[in-house]
Amino acid sequence: MKWFRKKKTKKTDDAELDLVTRGLLIFAHPTTVISVEEILKDEGYSIRVVSPPPSYRTGCDLSVEFPLAAESNITKLLNNVGMAPLDVVPITSEGMEPLHFVRSKEFDGDFLMIRAANMKMTVYKPTREIVNVSGGGCPDVPYLATEMIGKCLSDVSSPGEVGYSLCAYSLNTSYEELVRALGD
């Protein structure tokens, strides 16, 4: 019995040590996180995009989980590209990751709709023209729809570049999947 108890204690200690080796970079807008994610992954850092801790949540937020050991280098890098985080906090529990599953549906063989979470984008396949954007609830969605509808996939900025919200983040997932499926 003693042996088992001892082993359990060690496991707990290890887990706690593991957990405090990660931190969160907090940003004002979810779509800033898309750019930061790309930069840090390109630099080879082991990061995850997750929900921020409750004290930072407004209802539409994303943050970047990163190895605390790299804090100095990462914050310096982000400062240099004008993407300094609002805050950096150590974390003791895992945040939730945004949904990356997508569903696709064809209409009449000519239209392809991709849905990510609550956001749908539909393209007329022969011309790759974006014909509809549906779903969502954040204010940048109607703006993005107005900007994108009637244009080809190759002629628009990605929703991740233009939008601010988690709906824009999901719409970006739909957009990227359409580009993957049809080319731009």
Query: Which residues of the shown chain bind other proteins in the complex (CB under 8 A)?
Result: 29, 51, 57-61, 96-99, 101, 105, 107-108, 111, 113, 115, 117-120, 122, 124, 131-143, 145-146, 149, 163-170
CB of 21 to other proteins, least distance (A): 24
CB of 75 to other proteins, least distance (A): 25
Which is closer to other proteins, CB of 24 or CB of 138?
A: 138
Which is closer to other proteins, CB of 42 or CB of 108?
A: 108
Which is closer to other proteins, CB of 52 or CB of 74?
A: 52
Which is closer to other proteins, CB of 44 or CB of 54?
A: 54
SS (H, E, C) the chain: CHHHHHHHHHHHHHHHHHHCCEEEEECCCHHHHHHHHHHHHHCCCCCEEECCCHHHCCCCCCEEEEEHHHHHHHHHHHHHCCCCCCEEEECCCCCCCCCCCEEEEEECCCEEEEEECCEEEEEECCCCEEEEEEECCCCHHHHHHHHHCCCEHHHCCCHHHHCCCHHHHHHHHHHHHHHHHHCC
